[in-house]
Amino acid sequence: MLQLATRTAHLGKEQKRLRKRYVQLRKASQRLNGRILDHLPRGALIQSARALGLRHSGEIVLADMLEANVILDYALHDYRKGRAPSTIERFVSPAFDRRLKTWMTSSRRCVATRLQRGSPS
């Protein structure tokens, strides 16, 4: 921790603000990635490992942790169940954008209603 404090001590106000913003964006990105992973079809990781030649005798065999990331990226971007779009394609589709906007609007409405009624949750 002292090293980090020493490294950032020389930063100007704007640089500190930028760093803080990108730390927040990184956290938001990690939460979003977690949500996207929840939408991977069952068996996607195993099938992706097989497609990449990393599944042997029924087990996923990794040379290092980088290969685990490669399997995950393949599963998100290129694995398709039949003719269905990939998980990422589903997330960036206009239909998903509409569902997300609807969900966000209804969530805001729900929170606003609860606040108006005085309910904390």
Please, what is the average pLDDT of the chain?
78
Residues 6-15, mean pLDDT to the nearest whole number: 74
Phi then psi dihedrals of residue 56, to 5 deg: -135, 135
Question: How many C-alpha atoms does 99 have within 13 Å on its Cβ side?
Answer: 7
Residues 10-26, mean pLDDT to the nearest whole number: 83
Q: What pLDDT score was predicted for residue 2?
A: 43
3-state SS class at 56: strand
Alpha carbon 80 to its chain centroid, in Å, reads 18
Residues 64-80, mean pLDDT to the nearest whole number: 92
Burial 16-26 (b: 16+ CB within 10 A, else e): eeeeeeeeeee
Domain ranges of the chain: 1-38
Residues 33-37, mean pLDDT to the nearest whole number: 82
Please tell me whether the overall predicted TM-score, pTM, comes out greater than 0.75 for this model. no
Contact indicator for 77, 84 with CB cutoff of 8 Å: no
